[in-house]
Homo-oligomer: A and B are copies of this chain.
Amino acid sequence: MKIYTRTGDEGQTSIVGGRVSKASAKVEAYGTVDEANSFVGVAIAHLPEEERQIREELEKIQHELFDCGSDLSKKEGAERKYPFKVTEEMVTFLEERIDAYVAEAPELERFILPGGTKAAAYLHVARTVIRRAERQTVRLAEKEKINPWVQKYLNRLSDYFFALARVINHRAGHKDVEYVRSANVFSRRRNKE
């Protein structure tokens, strides 16, 4: 089997439902999801052996990132033939995990420097790359209709990575360093993003 087909050498590529430029907002969006997914793979490769449940959870998320990429890669309207994969339940699952992780880690008041153990440091990378994918998805959504749950999923996922990075550092006994030149940015009363 040849995995290279040379048909994309001139800058166009086939997606489900048609042909688009590799420079299009659509390809940029699912390409960035693929990039973020690769960093999740790196984070998993650096997880402490004993964190079996986190490993499973991250692997589940890798599958779900393929679901996101799948929905983003379809030509507008193609979902009538190939239904969307990302659902409200997937977002709710992330929210439940965030709540649990936030409860486990020490109370948060200020921004913290991204880093700590290797696994946590990579989760911060995954967090920021997923946010880039979210920005690109917003750009795509300004042009054409997409599955709205993908955007919500990506938004929640960066908070999930943040919460999980804190838990991993906490379990490892690594204290997160606070960014000092800011006021308390996290608080019970705030709720505008």
A residues with a Cβ closer than 8 A to B are 1-11, 13-14, 21-23, 27-28, 31-32, 34-35, 37-42, 44-46, 59, 62-63, 66-67, 70, 85, 95, 98-99, 102, 107-108, 111, 113-118, 121-122, 124-125, 127-129, 131-132, 134-136, 138-139, 141-142, 151-152, 155-156, 159, 162-163, 177, 179-182, 186-188, 190-193
Find chain B residues with CB under 8 A from A35 CB: 125, 128-129, 131-132
B2 touches A34 (CB 8 A): no
In whole angstroms, what is the CA distance A155 to B38 when docked? 18
In whole angstroms, what is the CA distance A38 to B2 when docked? 28
Q: 17 new A-B pairs (CB below 8 Å) besides A2-B102, A23-B142, A35-B129?
A: A1-B108, A3-B163, A4-B95, A4-B155, A6-B193, A7-B193, A11-B151, A31-B131, A34-B128, A38-B114, A38-B124, A39-B125, A40-B114, A41-B113, A41-B125, A66-B181, A67-B181
